[in-house]
Amino acid sequence: MDLGWVFFNSFIVGFSGAMMPGPLLVVGISETPRHGWRTGVIISVGHAIAEIGVVLVLVLGIAAFAKDEVVTQVIGIVGGAALILMGLTMGRDILKNRVSYDSIDSSQKGSRRLLAGKGISATLSNPFWFVWWGTVGLSLLVDSQRLGTQGPIVFYFGHILSDFVWYTAVSIVLWSGRKLFVGKVLKSLILACAAFLVYLGVTFLITGLSSIT
């Protein structure tokens, strides 16, 4: 494992999560008609601010027990299981047409807050975000710390880049007046991300279990 692999992993895992409907996507869709294609960039800045806080907290916590192999093994196993569950759930929902972007309410009235503030509040209002960082995010951070201080830094930038790419693309497409999602293409992308999550989860599980045995 090297820094390039850490960056790639964090980017793909983050991208697969960003593509699924959630509060931040709602903000992006509802605010783009009023604020233009830059909406995706600005809400991603707010999202990045919220995420750098949680990354710093987790990294400081990880440092306290980084030498405890049992703890890191448990984190890897739990994180691996969470990745597999996330990937299987994503794949199932896409194949059974349970994910609908048409049902997202894009008629929300904007407040007078800065869009960056909305990016933060939308992030913190998503319960899944806390669960993700407590399982998947934590296990990826533990893994990245094996490369020293650079590991978590590279992990963070790879992870947040996926949000910037996705939400900016959504705003650009919306602002240009074209159809936002292209059925089979989007499904294929999400299925590919889901498959990668399962693969990564299995890798984490095997590593954790083999180190215990």
Residue 7: the pLDDT is 94
**pLDDT confidence band for 178 (50 / 70 / 90):** low
C-alpha neighbours within 13 Å on the C-beta side of residue 99:
18
Q: Which of 13-17, 95-99, 142-146 has the highest mean pLDDT?
A: 142-146
- pLDDT digit string (tens) for 105-121? 444 444 345 455 677 87
* Alpha carbon 198 to its chain's center: 15
CA-closest candidate to residue 108, choices 18, 27, 23, 19: 27
Handedness of CA 170, 23, 115, 32 (dihedral sign): positive
* Calpha distance 209→158 (Å, rounded): 27
Residue 106: the pLDDT is 47
Residue 133: the pLDDT is 82
**pLDDT confidence band for 64 (50 / 70 / 90):** low
Contacts of 211 (CB under 8 A, 6+ apart): 69, 73
Structural domain including 102 reads 3-212
Instruction: Specify the number of domains making up the chain.
Output: 1
- pLDDT digit string (tens) for 69-99? 676 677 778 777 877 887 788 788 878 877 6
**pLDDT confidence band for 161 (50 / 70 / 90):** very high
* Calpha distance 140→122 (Å, rounded): 23
**pLDDT confidence band for 160 (50 / 70 / 90):** very high
Mean pLDDT of 46-63: 83
Q: CB atoms < 10 A from the CB of 193, how many?
A: 25
